[in-house]
Amino acid sequence: NAGVMQNPRHLVRRRGQEARLRCSPMKGHSHVYWYRQLPEEGLKFMVYLQKENIIDESGMPKERFSAEFPKEGPSILRIQQVVRGDSAAYFCASHYQGNTEAFFGQGTRLTVV
């Protein structure tokens, strides 16, 4: 059973471009979190998703950011028109229904140049 898989591991985008970050949860996991981490800081919650449903998006910036977790396929975090301040490591974590023990992927490091 592979762990949580995130890709790409590193992503470089120019200002104004779009960034798409993918997260494949562990097999059987129905819930996904997305977090952002700036250097030397803790993880900041962004969004909490169940398949085809957004449970909590209170940590998502109001503009340019969106997330989905379709019935089939990975969860996607999409950042439109990226700015330098979006540069960070983005982590996803998944867990089973009814069990909040969450397992993390290795993260995607986004650099906006």
Partner 1 sequence: SQQGEEDPQALSIQEGENATMNCSYKTSINNLQWYRQNSGRGLVHLILIRSNEREKHSGRLRVTLDTSKKSSSLLITASRAADTASYFCATSYRSARQLTFGSGTQLTVLP
Smallest separation, CB 59 to partner 1 (Å): 7
Smallest separation, CB 110 to partner 1 (Å): 14
Smallest separation, CB 16 to partner 1 (Å): 27
Is residue 81 within 8 A of residue 68, CB to CB? The reply is no
Which one, 18 or 56, has the nearer CB to partner 1? Answer: 56
Which one, 14 or 62, has the nearer CB to partner 1? Answer: 62
Alpha carbons within 13 angstroms on the beta-carbon side of residue 79 total 27
Rounded to 5 degrees, what angle do the CA atoms 80, 61, 38 make?
90
Q: Which residues bind partner 1 (CB under 8 A)?
A: 33, 35, 41-45, 48, 55-56, 58-59, 91, 93, 100-107
Smallest separation, CB 106 to partner 1 (Å): 4
Which one, 82 or 102, has the nearer CB to partner 1? Answer: 102
DSSP line for 11-58: EEE-TT--EEEEEEPPTT--EEEEEEE-TTS-EEEEEEEETTEEEE-T
